[in-house]
A = this chain, B = another copy of it.
Amino acid sequence: MAGEGRKATGGASTGSAGAPAPAGSARPRRARDSLNRSVIIDAAIRVAERDGLSGLTFQALGTELGAHATSIYRHFRDKDELLLEVIDTLRDRSYGEALVSTGDWREDVLLVAAQIRQHYLRYAPFAHDMSARSTHRRTEFLTVEFTLNALEQAGLPPEEAALHLRLLGNYIRAMASFEATVACMDPELRVKDRVQMQVDSQGLDPVEFPHLSQHASALLPLEDPRVFDLGLEAILDSIAARADGGPR
């Protein structure tokens, strides 16, 4: 995390130092009533996709809208409220329509997992921030309903279904967000990271760190896409076993 690039400091206008703007108003006044939540959210998404979540400031958003930065406060209580709307809107666009049951509970879980994972990878720079937020909005409810249905189809009693709903939800978001975090490190830095890791582990005491010092290069580099499915299948197997042999 921490720092996705070093700003860009505007291009031409908005000179607050330098020449103090000819005389008249700098930019034309934004048309009355042309601002609303939906317009602002769209602009915010454009900014975020271009500059990353850390580039999404009121300043940048104002520039994108051709409006004063503070005009957003008329439509959102604070930045966090705007952020939650952005997160849920992105989710909805990514997989709001895709959650249609296949009729097979296991396929259904794999489907929702794949959708969420793909979404995080697509918006890799915000994945970590997104993964920790509960929006309490439509797309979130859709996902819960869909997963709950799958778990009931599997034959899990209500209380166990609730536990596994949580397990799957956390697992999918967390693992996908980790995958995204490495995916969005710029490749140069990722290679440097890898080399550094090997150098570091080379310097370790081979008695204290036999595994690490022996085959560090073979073991450490990877963030392998198979890891995600490995754990998911393990959880699915566990669910299947419980549904069969459980108190029925």
Contacts and interface: CB of A to CB of B under 8 A. Distances in A.
A148 B197 contact: no
As for how many copies of this chain the complex holds, the number is 2
Contacts of A177: 174
Contact of A212 (B148, B158, B167, B218): B148
A132 interface: yes
A200 B140 CA distance: 11
Interface range, A side? 35 or more
A152 interface: yes
Contacts of A161: 219
Interface of A: 1-3, 80, 83, 128-129, 132-134, 136, 141, 144-145, 148-149, 152, 158-159, 161-167, 170-171, 173-175, 177-178, 181, 193, 196-197, 200-201, 204, 208-212, 215, 218-220, 222-224, 226-227, 230-231, 233-235, 237-238
